[in-house]
Amino acid sequence: MSTISKKRIQRWQYNNYGVLHKKLHYSPNSKKRIYEEFFDKNGNIYCTKMFEDNEKNSLIYIQTYRHGRPHLTFKTEKQLFQHYFENKFNENDVVFCDARLLDKPLLNQQNKTKNILVFHSSHLNDNKTINQSYKMALENPQKVTQYLLLTEKQKSDILNVTNIDPDKISIIPHFIMPHQSTDNVEQLDRFVFIGRIAEEKQINHILYAYHNFLKSGFTTKLSIYGRDEFGQQRKLEQLIEELELQDNIDINGFTNNPLM
């Protein structure tokens, strides 16, 4: 914090070993980040990022360093990612990608890698059209070795709107390790959601379905466990109030032991 204005001007981030790895610098006026520095384990800067000091706060450029001197400059993060992939991977390397931000730099890099794209969320918008972030992955199947999905329903949806070979799509559902049950565990009559409280998880769909469930005369409670992301919990709380479900739903934070 500035000793003069009492406003935030820097934020230092440390890794799990207590080593400083990143500094964020903020504008004293707009309070937006304007500069980021990244440090290696020896305290040397290896990368900086500059941002516009306005409401949009767009990235201006990324500068990398080698031996303490400026090395390469990139206009976008995707350019940096693609450069990294082209220097990191070799021909026929098997690469798993579960972040749609990385699809374009991965699929456009020059090495002929075996790209396996993992989908954790729905590829559809609320209006049932393909989400913009999934278009690169679904419109370039010739660059993809295999798609890994969670459900047969999503596979069916994709085949309905693309010409992807069905043999290129595999289904591996979520799973949990077997747990030894005991007579000492209290059996509760409730539904449980466990996951990130994020927009792409579509928890609002659960609330609407649960609302209809209660209207049918059932009384089973609903418990939600997860870490809030970007204020989504407040939006859920507002929807719960609109649907008058306050007495039937409890929202809990992140837990390492959901069986308790």
> For the chain, what is the mean pLDDT?
89
CB 96 within 8 A of CB 116: yes
Please compute the mean of the pLDDT values over residues 230-249 and round it to a whole number.
Answer: 88
What is the DSSP code (8-state) at residue 198? -
pLDDT given at position 253: 85
Please compute the mean of the pLDDT values over residues 183-207 and round it to a whole number.
Answer: 84
Q: For the CA atoms of 157, 127, 238, 213, what is the dihedral angle to 10 degrees? A: -50
Indicate whether 260 pLDDT > 70: no
Domain CATH number, residue 167: 3.40.50.2000
Which amino acid, residue 151? T
Domain total for the chain?
3
Q: Structure pTM?
A: 0.68
The verdict on 103 and 130 lying in the same domain is yes
Of 103 and 29, the one with more pLDDT: 103
Rounded Cα gap, residues 98 and 85, in angstroms: 15
Q: What are phi and psi of 23, to 5 degrees?
A: -125, 130
Domain end position, chosen among 19, 41, 75: 75
CB 238 within 8 A of CB 250: no
In a domain, 69, yes or no: yes
- Range with lowest mean pLDDT among 46-50, 154-158, 199-203: 199-203
In a domain, 177, yes or no: no
Residue recorded with tokens 């047969």: 152
> Quick one: tokens of 198?
């994020």
pLDDT given at position 175: 78
Angle between helix 232-242 and helix 203-215 axes, rounded to 10 deg: 20
pLDDT given at position 4: 65
Domain that holds residue 195: 190-252
- Range with lowest mean pLDDT among 21-25, 104-108, 124-128, 149-153: 124-128
pLDDT band for position 246 (cuts 50, 70, 90): confident
Concatenated DSSP letters for 90-114? -TT-EEEE--GGGHHHHHHSSS--E
Dihedral angle sign, alpha carbons of residues 151, 152, 158, 163: positive
Indicate whether 20 pLDDT > 90: yes
The verdict on 199 and 160 lying in the same domain is no
Rounded Cα gap, residues 236 and 59, in angstroms: 31
Coil vs helix vs strand at 66? strand
Domain end position, chosen among 138, 171, 204: 171
